[in-house]
A and B are shown apart, each in its own frame.
Chain A
Amino acid sequence: MGDNPSRSENATAGDLGVTGRHARGAGTGVSPRSYEEPPFGGGGALPKKTRFGMEAGFKGLSVAAGAMVLVIIVAIAVFLISKAVPAINADTENFLTYKSWFPNDTEPKFGIAVLAFGTVLTSIIALLVAVPIALGIALFLSHYAPKRLATPLGFVIDLLAAVPSVVFGLWGRDVFLEPVRNFSLWLNEYFSWIPIFGGDGPFGRSVLLGSLVLAIMVLPIVTSLSREVFMQTPGMNEEAALALGATKWEMVRTAVLPYGKPGVIAAVMLGLGRALGETIALALTLGVVFNISFNIIENGGNSIAANIANSFGEANETGRGALIASGLVLFAITLVVNMAARAIIYRRREFRDSAA
């Protein structure tokens, strides 16, 4: 979650207020004594030598903060790799393809295949469910709902993004399990000829439950980001479409959706990033079983993060190393997703700048 390049309409248009605030010059904790009114005319307007002290100081501070971030991350990376490598070396099976997780045996055997598969599967199903609905709500909030309804509803959606995941996990395990099990039984009764709905039970704590809970968690994020993007559609484009006789939906399809497409893709990628890394909610709802299966309604399912949370307790030295190695794989997956999202956000910005 985290990044919301969304509150942009608040942030961008700040011209008038800034001047006022600037003139009053307070609120930053920097001593006003160091500030002299720029003298009139000529070269005097250039910063004086004395101010270079503050300038260099502040710059140094921010560079130090940037470097600090780098130091922390490099320290973590070094630490993780130093723990993961011995564990992978001790692995008597192929780390990438082996389909079980017994790192605590005297001859450790473990592989990432099942976990990586489960992580990707649950996240993708979650997005398949969440994205169409999230886009529907985003369009509703930006173009269909009356403003009196849209503003509070948007606020509520933003709040839901802040609900801690352990709460969703608990709800999924104690409440949502029952309807999902009934639904699974129904699917199994009538659609068992489709492999993903086959099997003969038990049902319930399945990939379906985990994915749906994830979908509910991802929904507010994708919604609020997409809504921001849709609201930024230039009014000119919308009016032009309407003036050409387009119905409202045609206007949305021809003006709003193409304009927002890169932003929506970025929002989806960010949602995917959260889904991939989600720990506690999945640890509480998935069956945590080691096998690769496309059956989504039978008890089962697993993910890297949920496995770390579940297996950590009984892990020994090698076991912890193995879990860290799986964490590194999660890193790699998340990194690819994040970088893709970032690339798209940048492209979108250029797109918008040129459009505006």
Chain B
Amino acid sequence: MKLQRSGYLAAGIALTATLALAACGSDNESPEGGSDASAASGNCVAGSLTAQGSSAQKNAMDEWIKTYQGQCADAKIDYQGTASGAGIQAFIAGTADFAGSDSALKEEEQPQADAKCPGGAALNLPMVVGPIAVVYNAEGVENLQLDAPTLAKIFDSQITKWNDPAIAAQNSGAKLPDSPITAVHRSDESGTTDNFTKYLSKAAEAEWKYDHAKAWKAKGGTGAAKSDGVATAVKSTPGAISYVELSYAENQDLQKAKIKNGAGEYTELTGESAGKGIEGAKIEGTGNDLKLSIDYTAKTAGAYPIVLTTYEIVCSKGSPKAKELKAFFTYTSSTGGQTALNDLGYAPLPETIRGKVETAVASIS
């Protein structure tokens, strides 16, 4: 029968093609960029880890995984940048060995997560500091300077023109256009919005009437979905202003505003200034749970105030992958692990906090 003959033929071709494909696949086993050879050596545990969560720390994770796997041949780690909420849900369901999240576990999530850790509790370990850039697209305006109350008014549609006196007062000499401001916000829920509104609600208490939340609650403005959507919207809309993680701002070459910090200086966003921004952070959690509370009005000189801390959520005890987790996080919380992220748009943890994270990781069993 023709059908069968050609069917076999097709199956044969498909099989051959699959085999041919199978023969030549590579997992990029010896990464070239795996600098800092000492970072993970002597600290390897063979085994695999599956994790997902915040997309804000995806680039950091990729970099860490690359170095770690380069050092430890038998280790296999997979991190999917789905979203903080999805990461926590996966951790609670047991499909993720750890979760990356832009905010610490909520009260109602804590007991559910603890249930996955027989004999222990789920810890929030701060691991990466990601600065949030205030990006804008206004013709002829460079080095825009803004303070928190102005930002709050812009995003609440109280300031609607670029040459508003409030903006002009902070940018003497700049030629501000007489055009409307389009305030772009994330239309989907996100940790970036949560941390940005947290900043506004603390640093501009009087002006920002909305609490912080992952969903955008303020009036007016226009929405865009996902970080890349926000970045493209700002890039393509004259008069737009928004907030986005630093790496997206840099990929689209967007202009970043200088933000006034607690010491009264307008600070440019750099890795260093963002690191200083988190220096005054206080630890809210108890014991090894290192939930941070950032002081957005701290008077640290040279600090960039709008930063988000992303956490790793892990079991203090009782995880079947405790050994693998411990080895991996020992590397990420080491000085080497932190400095590996320098030019990726992240800031290293301040030394005091990093030390505590290291201690907490060491106690995982």
A residues apposed to B, CB below 8 Å:
24, 26-27, 101-102, 104-106, 173, 177, 181, 200-202, 204-205, 283, 286-290, 298-300, 310-317, 319-320
* Contact A205 B233, beta carbon cutoff 8 Å: yes
B163 close to chain A: CB less than 8 A: no
* Contact B222 A300, beta carbon cutoff 8 Å: yes
Residue from A27, A288, A317 having most chain B Cβ neighbours under 10 A? A288
B339 close to chain A: CB less than 8 A: no
Distance A287 CA – B130 CA, assembled complex (angstroms): 26
* Contact A313 B214, beta carbon cutoff 8 Å: no
* Contact A311 B236, beta carbon cutoff 8 Å: no
Residues 81-95 of chain B: 1 if any A CB is under 8 Å from the residue's CB, otherwise 0? Answer: 011111011000000
Query: What are 21 pairs between A and B in contact, CB < 8 Å?
Result: A26-B4, A27-B4, A101-B215, A102-B217, A104-B214, A104-B215, A105-B215, A200-B180, A201-B237, A204-B236, A283-B225, A289-B187, A289-B223, A290-B187, A313-B83, A313-B86, A314-B83, A314-B191, A314-B214, A315-B85, A315-B89
B49 close to chain A: CB less than 8 A: no
Distance A317 CA – B240 CA, assembled complex (angstroms): 35
B64 → chain A, closest Cβ, in Å? 22
Q: With A27-B4, A313-B82 in contact, do A287 and B225 touch (Cβ < 8 Å)?
A: yes
Q: A181-B236, A313-B189 are in contact. List 4 more A-B contacts (CB 8 A).
A: A104-B189, A202-B240, A290-B187, A314-B85
* Contact B1 A299, beta carbon cutoff 8 Å: no
* Contact A289 B214, beta carbon cutoff 8 Å: no
Q: Which residues of B contact A200 (CB under 8 A)?
A: 180
B300 close to chain A: CB less than 8 A: no
Q: Which residues of A contact B4 (CB under 8 A)?
A: 26-27
* Contact A27 B3, beta carbon cutoff 8 Å: yes
Q: Which residues of B contact A106 (CB under 8 A)?
A: 108
Distance A91 CA – B355 CA, assembled complex (angstroms): 44
B226 close to chain A: CB less than 8 A: yes
* Contact B189 A311, beta carbon cutoff 8 Å: yes
Residue of chain B at shortest CB distance from A310:
B188
Q: With A181-B236, A202-B240, A288-B188 in contact, do A316 and B223 touch (Cβ < 8 Å)?
A: no
Picked from B188, B215, B222, B229, the residue with its CB within 8 Å of the CB of A202 is: B222
Residue from B82, B237, B240 having most chain A Cβ neighbours under 10 A? B237
Q: With A202-B233, A288-B223, A300-B223 in contact, do A26 and B1 touch (Cβ < 8 Å)?
A: yes
Q: Which residues of B contact A314 (CB under 8 A)?
A: 83-86, 188-191, 214
B249 → chain A, closest Cβ, in Å? 18
Distance A164 CA – B92 CA, assembled complex (angstroms): 33
Residues 43-62 of chain B: 1 if any A CB is under 8 Å from the residue's CB, otherwise 0? Answer: 00000000000000000000
Residues 233-257 of chain B: 1 if any A CB is under 8 Å from the residue's CB, otherwise 0? Answer: 1001100100000000000000000
B303 → chain A, closest Cβ, in Å? 28
Q: Which residues of A contact B86 (CB under 8 A)?
A: 312-315
* Contact A313 B85, beta carbon cutoff 8 Å: yes
B182 close to chain A: CB less than 8 A: yes
B283 close to chain A: CB less than 8 A: no
Instruction: Name the interface residues of B1-32: CB closer than 8 Å to any CB of A.
Output: 1, 3-4
* Contact A289 B222, beta carbon cutoff 8 Å: yes
Q: Which residues of A contact B233 (CB under 8 A)?
A: 202, 204-205, 299
Distance A315 CA – B89 CA, assembled complex (angstroms): 9
Distance A10 CA – B191 CA, assembled complex (angstroms): 55
B213 close to chain A: CB less than 8 A: yes
8 interchain residue pairs of minimum CB distance = A313-B83, A314-B85, A314-B189, A202-B237, A288-B225, A289-B223, A288-B187, A310-B188
Distance A167 CA – B131 CA, assembled complex (angstroms): 32
Q: Which residues of B contact A204 (CB under 8 A)?
A: 233, 236-237
* Contact A202 B182, beta carbon cutoff 8 Å: yes
* Contact A287 B187, beta carbon cutoff 8 Å: yes
B109 close to chain A: CB less than 8 A: yes
B341 close to chain A: CB less than 8 A: no
A19 → chain B, closest Cβ, in Å? 15
* Contact B188 A313, beta carbon cutoff 8 Å: yes
Residue of chain A at shortest CB distance from B222:
A299
B108 → chain A, closest Cβ, in Å? 8
Distance A92 CA – B242 CA, assembled complex (angstroms): 31
Distance A300 CA – B187 CA, assembled complex (angstroms): 10
Distance A313 CA – B214 CA, assembled complex (angstroms): 12
Q: Which residues of B contact A286 (CB under 8 A)?
A: 225
Distance A287 CA – B236 CA, assembled complex (angstroms): 14
B72 close to chain A: CB less than 8 A: no
Residue of chain B at shortest CB distance from A178:
B236
Q: Which residues of B contact A26 (CB under 8 A)?
A: 1, 4
Distance A201 CA – B3 CA, assembled complex (angstroms): 58
Residue of chain A at shortest CB distance from B238:
A202
Distance A296 CA – B99 CA, assembled complex (angstroms): 39
Q: With A102-B215, A313-B82 in contact, do A205 and B224 touch (Cβ < 8 Å)?
A: yes
Distance A341 CA – B127 CA, assembled complex (angstroms): 55
Distance A177 CA – B240 CA, assembled complex (angstroms): 17
* Contact B189 A105, beta carbon cutoff 8 Å: no
Residue of chain A at shortest CB distance from B55:
A313
Distance A313 CA – B85 CA, assembled complex (angstroms): 6
Distance A314 CA – B225 CA, assembled complex (angstroms): 13
Residue of chain A at shortest CB distance from B2:
A27
Distance A318 CA – B222 CA, assembled complex (angstroms): 26
Q: Which residues of A contact B189 (CB under 8 A)?
A: 104, 311, 313-315
* Contact A287 B1, beta carbon cutoff 8 Å: no
Q: Which residues of B contact A290 (CB under 8 A)?
A: 187, 223
Q: Which residues of B contact A313 (CB under 8 A)?
A: 82-86, 188-189
Q: Which residues of B contact A300 (CB under 8 A)?
A: 222-223
Residue of chain B at shortest CB distance from A102:
B215
* Contact A310 B226, beta carbon cutoff 8 Å: yes
Distance A11 CA – B3 CA, assembled complex (angstroms): 16
Picked from B109, B187, B217, the residue with its CB within 8 Å of the CB of A316 is: B109
Q: Which residues of B contact A205 (CB under 8 A)?
A: 224, 229, 233
Distance A319 CA – B215 CA, assembled complex (angstroms): 12
B222 → chain A, closest Cβ, in Å? 5
* Contact A287 B213, beta carbon cutoff 8 Å: no
Residue of chain A at shortest CB distance from B180:
A200
* Contact B213 A105, beta carbon cutoff 8 Å: yes
Distance A224 CA – B110 CA, assembled complex (angstroms): 54
Residue of chain B at shortest CB distance from A106:
B108
Residue of chain A at shortest CB distance from B185:
A289
Residue of chain B at shortest CB distance from A203:
B237
Distance A104 CA – B4 CA, assembled complex (angstroms): 55
